[in-house]
Amino acid sequence: MSHTGEWKTRVYLFEEDRTTNVRVELDTGTTKLTGHGTARCNPTDADVPEIGDELAAARAMEDLGAQLKRLAFGDVEEAGGRPQGRSAPWATAAE
């Protein structure tokens, strides 16, 4: 079985008062998910916006990834299966 697809992702970064907020939007064509992440610069640290961008984006993508896993586990259960190594589709322990 061969399958190809294209999912569209947009990353939005907002910085104000040494705090970076990121929103990551994923559109699979059938599902839309949004992940969120935040990074705060310690007042005693140098203000390097790129670090806040990277950290907040990583956190937003982790959030999005967790949502996508829960969605996939739910789809597996709906199809009559059980996600391997999981007692429940909403569990978030490391693989």
Range 58-61 contact pairs with CB under 8 angstroms and sequence separation of 24 or more? 59/22, 60/11, 60/22, 60/23, 60/24, 60/35, 60/36, 61/24, 61/35, 61/37
Structural domains of the chain ordered from first start: 8-78 (3.30.160.240)
**Closest listed residue to residue 62, CA positions, set 22, 31, 90, 27:** 22
Which pTM value belongs to this model? 0.81
Q: Among the residues of the chain, which ranges form H helices? A: 49-78
pLDDT at 94: 44
Tell me the helices (H) and strands (E) count for the chain, helix number first.
1, 3
Q: What was the pLDDT predicted at 80?
A: 87
In order along its 95 residues, the chain shows pLDDT tens digits of 899 999 999 999 999 999 999 999 999 999 999 999 999 999 999 989 999 999 999 999 999 999 999 999 999 988 888 767 555 554 554 44
